[in-house]
Amino acid sequence: MTRLRTDVACCPTDDGMVLLDERDGRYWQLNATGATVLQALLDGAGLEQIADRLSVTRPVPRGRAAADVTALLEHLTRCGLVVDGP
C-alpha cells in the first residue's frame, strides 16, 4: 500500500492538494486530478482501479489515464514523498 513518508504533510486546497516535505521545506502542489489520484492511492486503490475511475470521470482515454497515474506515482516516489508499505 502506498503511504506518505512520515515527514511529509499534506493539506487539501480548493483546487487540489499541497504536500510539504519537512526534510527540506519544499512544497509540492497537485492539481485536482493529481490530488484525486494520490488520495485514492493512500486509500489503498490500485493503479488499474484508479485509471478506470479517471477514464469514467474525466475526458481521458483509459490508456492515457493508466500512463498518467503510473507517471505520477513514479514521480512522487522518486521525489521521496511516498513509499510502499504499512
For the chain, the structural domain boundaries read: 2-81
First-last CA distance in the chain: 6
Q: What is the pLDDT of residues 24-45, one digit of tens each?
A: 999 999 999 999 999 999 999 9
Sequence-distant (≥ 6) Cβ neighbours of residue 5 within 8 angstroms: 21, 80, 81, 82, 83
Predicted TM-score (pTM) of this structure: 0.92
Q: How far apart are CA 54 and CA 76, in angstroms?
A: 19
DSSP conformation letters of 9-21: EEEEETTEEEEEE
CATH of domain 2-81: 1.10.10
What was the pLDDT predicted at 45?
Answer: 97
Paired residues of 43 in beta bridges:
none
Instruction: Name the pLDDT band for 54 (thresholds 50, 70, 90).
Output: very high
